[in-house]
Amino acid sequence: MQLLLLILVLTISISEGGKLGRLQSVAVSGQVKCEGKPAVGVRVDLMESDNNMEESGIIDDDDFMSYAVTDELGNFNMSGSEVEISGIEPYINIFHKCDDGLSPCQRVLRINIPKSATIWGDTPTELFSIGIFELAGKVIGERRSCAYRNLTSTSI
């Protein structure tokens, strides 16, 4: 009986892309500005944090869920889903060149999304807004990335 149960669990795991757990979703929106003006063409990635060790002892990389590029008003809106055993831990990465001079690549700002904004299932029922966020000035914990060095921004 235990063998049959193990085979069933493995079959379900394989059909879900090798992941065990339940589908969870989140939707997020916001507006970004650079020195008070809309930050146009800024890439925003929706991610899910997996910064813990799995039972196997292997570090699980964070999961990419979705992305958006800000519009002419600096607005973005997106949603994403991920299969996890425990609750998902979503965050966004904002890649930008605001107030950055000629430095190579982009500044990356991470904003965590509260777990209360997530739901079980594939369709978020609420939209979590980060509000209006000013990108000028240095933020503690920001980093640099060359992942999207070819991304052009029209106003920053």
Q: What per-residue confidence (pLDDT) applies to 155?
A: 46
Tokens at 135, concatenated: 């990108």
The pLDDT score that the predictor gives to residue 150 is: 63
Q: What is the pLDDT of residues 9-59, one digit of tens each?
A: 545 444 445 567 899 999 999 999 999 999 999 999 999 998 765 555 556
Contact status, residue 108 vs residue 16, Cβ threshold 8 Å: no
d(CA 78, CA 30): 10
Q: Tell me, what's the pLDDT at 1?
A: 64
pTM of the model: 0.79
Note the Cα 5 to chain centre separation in Å.
35
Q: What is the token pair recorded at 24?
A: 């969870």
Choose between 107 and 55: higher pLDDT.
107
Lookup: tokens for 154: 């029209």
Q: Which two tokens stand for residue 125?
A: 């029922």
Q: Return the domain boundaries, the chain.
A: 21-145
Instruction: Give residue-wise pLDDT tens across range 110-155.
Output: 999 999 999 999 999 999 999 999 999 888 888 998 887 666 554 4
Range 21-145 classified under CATH 2.60.40.3330: yes
* Nearest alpha-carbon partner for 54 in 86, 14, 99: 86
